[in-house]
Structure 1
């Protein structure tokens, strides 16, 4: 569960920009041969579980292609704290990283 805050500058312009902040909490699990996944596990067999807090800060550039289609490129940083999976020697620092995203948005804007 979390919160998303987003700002879109000049959304009617052909080219526009935006910024977003996402914060929230969840569990991270180590599940057999499947590796890591967000809770709850499909099989119900979790070998190790840790509650985490995550926050993302990012910026986006977007192009209005048509009145119902936008294409965007965004990037930012994801910070994860609280992860402590001893068996896999994974901490929050291992799950924190920069990210990039290409988005195709369809709808009524």
Structure 2
């Protein structure tokens, strides 16, 4: 397994929170993404994609929870984003449904 040291953000960083309104709100947001992503994965009866993680797809050899990318465009969303944004199955409806992945 690789990248184990990158699986979790050091709770002491960032030293000064500038992106979120507080470090508590950052932690809350990260926890929601992780908890809901785990709930979605646990609802999948047969997980075929070995690279699927709560925070987005990543190589199966990586010992992480996903890439956690937050980049969306009007045209599509990356599967490296947290799965709550794009996964659609078992009664879960994403904010950014994937319309054209794999279609040419």
TM-score bracket relative to the smaller structure: under 0.3
Q: Using structure 1 for the length normalisation, give the TM-score.
A: 0.20
Report the TM-score, using the length of structure 2 for normalisation: 0.21
Larger radius of gyration: 1
Higher helix share: 2
More strand per residue: 1 or 2?
1
